[in-house]
Amino acid sequence: MEEYKLTMHDERDTIELAQNIESEKFPNMVICLYGDLGSGKTVFAKAFGHAMGIDGVTSSTFNIIKEYNGELPLYHMDVYRVDNNVENLGIEEYFDKGGVTIIEWADLIKDYLPEERLDIRFKVIDENTRVLVITPHGEKYENVCGDII
């Protein structure tokens, strides 16, 4: 399977990547973010939302799923504290509601993820450097990567 390794030299690079992927968005797009605390997942989600015309995307420890209205609906999930709640959240229902879903800490719900999705793994190298490993699952996501990377 093809994967892309990109180095983000500072926060602006991560914001630009999010904007580029946003420009290729489609209904029911699912983007899964993986990586330690402080690696840049929320920076990515916020920049993606901003590009969709949504200000104020934030991670909240209280709301696992937040819904925003932009050019398309955005479902931002931070499943860090999901524990045994996954079943009750009805996460799968969001994947075909016509919006874009962005999931932080997606490894915690890996059994619930759709087969077709974009995986982005964030690795912290130093204060401002992140290595991102991007893996498209499915043709639509392969095309997105082919177009923007």
Selected binder of ligand ADP within 5, 23, 26, 38 (CB under 6 A): 38
Selected binder of ligand ADP within 1, 2, 37, 84 (CB under 6 A): 37
Residue number, nearest CB to ligand ADP: 40
Selected binder of Mg ion within 25, 41, 66, 117 (CB under 5 A): 41
Q: Name residues contacting Mg ion, limited to 76-135 (CB under 5 A).
A: 104
Pick what 10 binds: ligand ADP, Mg ion, none; C-beta below 5 to 8 Å, kind-dependent: ligand ADP
CB of 96 to ligand ADP, least distance (A): 26
Residue closer to ligand ADP, measured from CB, 113 or 132: 132
What is the SS3 assignment for the chain? CCCEEEEECCHHHHHHHHHHHHCCCCCCEEEEEECCCCCCHHHHHHHHHHHCCCCCCCCCCCCCEEEEECCCEEEEEEHHHCCCCHHHHCHHHHHHCCCEEEEECHHHHHHHCCCCEEEEEEEECCCCCEEEEEEEECHHHHHHHHHHC
| Residues binding ligand ADP (CB under 6 A) | 8, 10-11, 13-14, 35, 37-43, 59, 104, 128, 130
